[in-house]
Amino acid sequence: MASKLAINSTIRLARSGIEMPLLGLGVYLNQDSKPACLAGLKNGYRHIDSARMYYNEAQVGEAVRESGIPREQIFITSKIANDEHDYDVALAAVDDSLKKFGFDYIDLMLIHSAMSDKQHRLATWRALIEAKKQGKLRSIGVSNYGVKHLEEIRQAGLEIPDVNQIELQPLNQQKEIAEYCKKYDIVIEAYAPLMRTQWNHPEILETAKKYSKEPAQVLVRWSLQRGFVPLPKSSDPARVVTNAKVYDFELSPEDIARIDSLDRGKEGTITWNPVDVD
């Protein structure tokens, strides 16, 4: 599989049945995201990951329109903010995001985190199910959900998420969550796949040198070959382009295993990673 990967490679989401591009462009902390989005779209990206709390949905929508690429060829994600957990509030948030993007539908809407309580999480999830039925969302999922939060949905007898977006990089490989998601055909999107440039590890630097690649490219390739959907982010258009140049090489099983060995579990967290909230 790995050697056949290309920038237009996709994965089919189990519940919605739609295809999601394997490589996404993250726009977190980029409130001037249009240049990065336009550079990405011009150079093959077809997946952009935004969120209501990023405050750049309007810019992403403008970039999609200015790109000249048909809307249906671009996969757009957003996320319900942590203070929008409730049925009516979440439904209103979906409508507001559609307005900000200037779209008729959003390809994937996630609950940004589990940071409320069981009652509000499930009410928000029911709202996303309803918005999907109404055709406003093509697929639905969650972000920063641990096994406990995923089990709440399953035990409530509700539709299982198509996606769980979590911090996942060599230092924090989220093995328990990853095993659960694999069991229930939940695609894992990996945010912070570039480790926020914390690359000073021989396992990464020596591998990059071996393949004549940058550490960021090795990390994106590692994530793809591990079966995740990486969401590298950059506000630098040139960096956006180089981060995607990962389809002319393949990491050997030995190199994958060497990078795998960096896992420190939760001690390797480099972002907020709220997967253990009550």
HSE of 187, CA atoms in CB hemisphere, 13 A: 29
Instruction: Please give the Cα distance from 5 to 98 (Å, whole number).
Output: 32
Instruction: Please give the Cα distance from 11 to 21 (Å, whole number).
Output: 6
Q: Between the CA of residue 66 and those of 39, 48, 60, what are the distances in Å?
A: 11, 15, 10
The active-site residue, picked from 28, 45, 54, 211, is 54
| Residue 15 near residue 38 (C-beta atoms within 8 A) | no
Check if 211 is active-site: no
| Residue 113 near residue 123 (C-beta atoms within 8 A) | no
**112 assigned ligand-binding residue:** yes
Parallel/antiparallel/unpaired status of strands 187-191 and 229-230 = parallel
Q: Which residues lie closer than 8 Å to 205 by C-beta, 6 or more apart? A: 199, 215
Q: Running DSSP on this structure, what letter comes out for residue 184? A: T
Instruction: Please give the Cα distance from 177 to 147 (Å, whole number).
Output: 6
Active site members? 54
Binding residues for substrate: 112
Binding residues: 112
